Structure 1
């Protein structure tokens, strides 16, 4: 019963963390795919076929079709979907949730992955980057996708630069008479791509765990608190296990009324704050080198009980890496932070 409760609460915490802002899980009916005018019995057969394909591809569990709900990430599909499809197929982010009562106790298990309905291919997430890269790479490296990317850049840059795409899939960037030049821009006006890349970063770190634990992108103290509670709950920590020698020194409201972290001052110095606005992913730059593009954004990450600033880089094959990590606050006690947060909210 205890393990069942842990699984249930963990699932709720994960959903509370990202659902509203990124995933937007909703019941998926695979009959929605080209289903207009198809008789009901054919729609049911199609649903059974898709479920069977996924179920038989699962690595650890087989799900009971009578007690399993299949969700797809509708909001993620709206922001990232256009960049994860080509002329013949698309990636869908799905989650299977099975709820059964076994010996009087509620047993919940879930699994998440990418699915290509047109090809019947399932990529089950396992907290490594391998299934995500395997699924995403053919889409982000396709010539059709690169052509759309170039078209978007042309719209924002205007005259003076021209882009072309070689058959090999590499970019040519022409600046006057210079061909294949390295080039970098700040993509402030590239809203579609910027939203996609930022959401892809959030999605990636939600579903990939490093060797020593999760890195969670956080864009506000409230989001950081959710992540800290998740890590605390999963690891079974108690308040007394947190060090009192960290640099977290509470929360405060700024002049605009927004909540900010306060950093404990060093000897002889004044306390400093982490501006809430600075925690939002921004300063997206798009760089071209050797015929390939990279997209880079500044971000804040929670790792264990510490807050870091970093640059997150997306390469055109879907690879993600971190650069220039800087420790901002260490030793954040979520029990204390929760009390600080409630005190500010009650003022």
Structure 2
């Protein structure tokens, strides 16, 4: 346990020595303050701590839709854009030197002189690399937790689901970066490899989703809206779907892992939060569920999304650990 704590502290010191670490935390703090600045009054929505306002008869102080709207901003903008894209990219760049610099001539050797196995050392360093994502997401979620209490008057601990989900999503890409970083000892190569896998996962999900809509719903999304197809065309898409979904099944489900937050967020501790409810509330004023939209968003189980992605990560971590143990330092 002392060895693990020592390595965690060493990783934290390495991160603190990087200017990008502080830049990322600073940008995160600004984003959190912007979210905190959004509030409600009798006329509608306020922003920048009351400096500006937007009149809205449906979403205002005391409205039952206020909390749903506030959570919608958190799940779609804060989590969907900032924490799962911008912050993850900055975290990858910040953490990328951990293994390449550690494996530099003389660095790892001084640690290996102490009574610790290479395999244990690898896993300690691997877990320490997740520390940045945990710290950043936990602090951000705490600010959101307090903001919801301040703005809508309720405690909503379900927002802390963002911590394990964002860390899980980051860990998929971290495993790629570690495996490539150990093999090449190149920071740039490890970052590029993680970005390529991330982009590939997004492409695979888009292809799979397109194929599912065509094969199961009998329509194809176009710029003018969803276009229905004939029964024969739908059957052809059903025959193609296994091939179209192969890449999605093999690669980590980065976006779907983050999207699980919409399933786990609750309102007032019991009522479910659904993106279809929020969208209907914004247009009609009534928080009605759209069964078809919910079916599209929840067609894959949480177990499949997480465990298939962890299977991908486990293969890469096993390869990285094997490479690390066989390396000459």
TM-score by length of structure 2 reads: 0.28
Q: Answer 1 or 2: which has greater helix percent.
A: 2
Q: Answer 1 or 2: which has greater strand percent.
A: 1
